[in-house]
């Protein structure tokens, strides 16, 4: 059976991300693509063009990730995670990222895909160390959190940060509130 046949059977002839049955194509996931169905997904042209950044991002289209992130196929989980990270400035996408569970090997694969597709400059901490999504950082100085009426104290741990489109900022939870933090005010923790 060909890869396309396997993917069509696995997906019930629909996009594995949004569920449409129009304009389906095979999408091999980098960097580990070995030509097998395990390293590819079947997606529609709308999803494909936005993943490849050929057209502007339609944020509402990607609400389908709330369902596809629970797919049992690791390749579907990887691309769902990658797209949720790209959309992490949206509150619903950040909520989904907070809920998603990936096995360690699947999360590692997703992070390699993210690293390959990022063309922006790196996000650096106080000491010039490159920060990655999921890193833990501690605050290097007291930060007044506007709108939340509290001060995040120096040394406060921020676990599982998210990167933003702006390489100067990261996002993370402090005192149960998701905030944007200037990366240069943080220190990467081990």
Q: Are residues 182 and 139 in the same domain?
A: yes
Of 94, 117, 140, which residue is a domain's last?
117
Q: Are residues 168 and 113 in the same domain?
A: no
Q: What is the pLDDT of residues 14-39, one digit of tens each?
A: 999 999 999 999 999 877 667 788 89
If one compares 68 and 117, the residue with the highest pLDDT of the two is 68
Q: What is the pLDDT of residues 106-165, one digit of tens each?
A: 999 998 888 777 655 788 999 989 888 889 999 999 988 887 788 999 999 999 898 887
Q: Is 183 exposed, middle or buried (0-12, 13-18, 19+ CB in 10 A)?
A: buried
Q: Are residues 66 and 141 in the same domain?
A: no
| Parallel, antiparallel or unpaired: strands 169-174 and 162-163 | antiparallel
CA gap 20, 46 in Å, rounded = 10
Tell me what pLDDT residue 2 has.
87
Q: Is 163 helix (H, G, I), strand (E, B) or coil?
A: strand
Q: Are residues 80 and 158 in the same domain?
A: no
Q: What is the pLDDT of residues 71-106, one digit of tens each?
A: 999 999 999 999 999 898 888 999 999 999 999 999
Of 117, 140, 168, which residue is a domain's last?
117
CB 186 within 8 A of CB 180: no
CB 185 within 8 A of CB 126: yes
Of 117, 134, 153, which residue is a domain's last?
117
Tell me what pLDDT residue 44 has.
93
Q: Are residues 108 and 20 in the same domain?
A: yes
Q: What's the number of domains the chain is made of? A: 2
CA gap 112, 30 in Å, rounded = 8
* Domain containing residue 174: CATH number: 2.30.30.40
Domain that holds residue 92: 3-117
């Amino acid at each position: 059976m060909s890869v396309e046949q396997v993917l069509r059977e696995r997906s019930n002839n629909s996009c594995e991300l949004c569920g449409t049955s129009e304009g389906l194509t095979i999408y091999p996931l980098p960097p580990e693509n070995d030509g097998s169905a395990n390293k590819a997904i079947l997606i529609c042209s709308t999803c494909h063009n936005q993943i490849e950044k050929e057209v502007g991002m339609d944020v509402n289209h990607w609400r389908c990730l709330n369902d596809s992130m629970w797919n049992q196929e690791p390749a579907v989980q990887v691309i769902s995670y990658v797209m949720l990270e790209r959309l992490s400035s949206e509150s619903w996408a950040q909520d989904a990222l907070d809920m998603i569970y990936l096995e360690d090997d699947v999360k590692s694969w997703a992070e390699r895909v993210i690293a390959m597709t990022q063309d922006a400059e790196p996000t650096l901490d106080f000491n010039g160390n490159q920060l990655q999504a999921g890193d833990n950082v501690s605050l290097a100085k007291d930060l007044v959190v506007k709108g939340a009426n509290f001060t995040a104290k120096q040394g406060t741990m921020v676990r599982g940060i998210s990167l933003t489109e702006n390489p100067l900022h990261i996002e993370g939870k402090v005192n149960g509130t998701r905030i944007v933090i200037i990366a240069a005010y943080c220190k990467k923790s081990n």
